[in-house]
Structure 1
Amino acid sequence: YGSLSCNSFVSVYFSQLKPLISNHQFYNCPNLKLFIALMLQNLNDGCFYNCTKLETVLTPNANTSQQCFENCTEIKTILALEGDFICFCRNCPKCNGTLQQCLENGKKFA
């Protein structure tokens, strides 16, 4: 898993980060609520897997990948280039049908 996984971050802000190299970069960060990376280009597979308190992701230049929000039950706002990815967790915005609303909420920050 990624080098930043299993941490107790509440919020993360990267001003210059562009690529995420590995999958599951923020896997199982149970306290993470806010993620901002304005230059980021990609949210890799399983990027926020099991970040159960994650509410807001602001990555206006990033494409989403498979299961990047798996088990992110509290997410309400996503600012990203793409919202088309596969997931079968039954607990994320993609699986519960709220992804479009999350993306609409994210546009307010564009």
Structure 2
Amino acid sequence: QQFLNLVGITEKQVNEAKDLQVINECKILKGTEYKRKFKEKIKYFYAPNLEIICEDQWRGCTSLVRVYCPKIKKVNYGAFFYCDKIVDFDLPLLEYADTHSFTRCDSIKRFYFPSLLQAIMSFYICSNLEQFIAPKLREMKGGCFSGCKKLKMVNAPNLQAVDKSVFRECQNLKIVVAPSVVKVECDCKRCPMCTGFTTEMPFVKEIKGQKSTFKQSMLKLEFNVRYQGQATDSIVQL
């Protein structure tokens, strides 16, 4: 209902509309899957029944501003590649984001995916992205956020593994909240994971294939993480 109010459409209009009909610059999709690619200059897509987003489905739709797809669990390769005007995604059930699925979504400042579990090089060069929140995310692969130069914060409390180059060129990234991480292969040399671990990642066991050394006491957890021959010490108050 919130989406419909935003674009100025009533539920009655949606119910009476034909599949693929356009109302107030919003295309109504009533099907569960479409093999075609949407290339027309449409600002909004309302797809309450859509279950599958195919490869390159909206690739290069530079007029697209918002989409409503509440049943989607997987976004396939390049689905929103270079949708540089889009400002919001309503994908509450999304679990898997494939390669380049959100690459160059340059107007997005904040991603929030409450159900996302895995992302593979999915948010490459989102040039204005500042915050990323995914409470169920477990794994990041490839250059997931590579080139996101304005990224400041990543909140992924269930994240367990970080692949290499995930945060390459994210020079403004200051906060990574990931208390469940046990393996890091990032090699950007700039992000919090590479420059020193803090309270956000107290259980890291491995970085770049090298095991960390741990010393525990009742008051503090001290651990030394070796990165390319240099030791980084962090103190965490328990």
- TM-score between both structures, scaled by the size of structure 2: 0.38
1:106 shift after superposition: 6.9
Structure with more of its chain in helix, by fraction = 1
State the identity as a percent.
Answer: 28
1:105 shift after superposition: 5.2
1 or 2 for the larger relative contact order (CA 8 Å, sep ≥6)?
Answer: 1
Runs of at least 4 residues off by over 2 Å: 104-107
Give the structure with higher Rg (CA).
2
Structure with more of its chain in strand, by fraction = 2
After superposition, give the CA deviation of every residue in 1:52-80 in whole Å (9 maximum; x if it has no partner): 00000001111211111000000000022
- TM-score between both structures, scaled by the size of structure 1: 0.78
How far apart in 2 are the matches of 1:30 and 1:86? 20
How far apart in 1 are the matches of 2:101 and 2:176? 23
Counterpart secondary structure, 2:124? coil
- Number of residue-to-residue matches in the alignment: 100
Counterpart secondary structure, 2:197? helix
After superposition, give the CA deviation of every residue in 1:40-97 in whole Å (9 maximum; x if it has no partner): 111111100000000000011112111110000000000221462142x55x3269x5
| Letter matched to residue 147 of structure 2 | N
Gaps of 5+ in 1: none
Cα RMSD, aligned residues only: 2.2
Distance 1:2 1:83, change over 3 A: same
How far apart in 1 are the matches of 2:144 and 2:184? 15
Distance 1:58 1:72, change over 3 A: same
The answer to whether 1:37 aligns with 2:134 is yes
How far apart in 2 are the matches of 1:83 and 1:99? 14
How far apart in 2 are the matches of 1:105 and 1:86? 16
Partner of 1:13: 112
Is the 1:76–1:105 Cα contact (8 Å) retained in structure 2?
no
How far apart in 2 are the matches of 1:49 and 1:100? 20
The answer to whether 1:74 aligns with 2:172 is yes
Gaps of 5+ in 2: 1-98, 203-238
How far apart in 2 are the matches of 1:99 and 1:34? 20
Q: Which moved more, 1:32-41 or 1:73-82?
A: 73-82
Q: Quick one: which of 46, 53, 74 aligns to 2:143?
A: 46
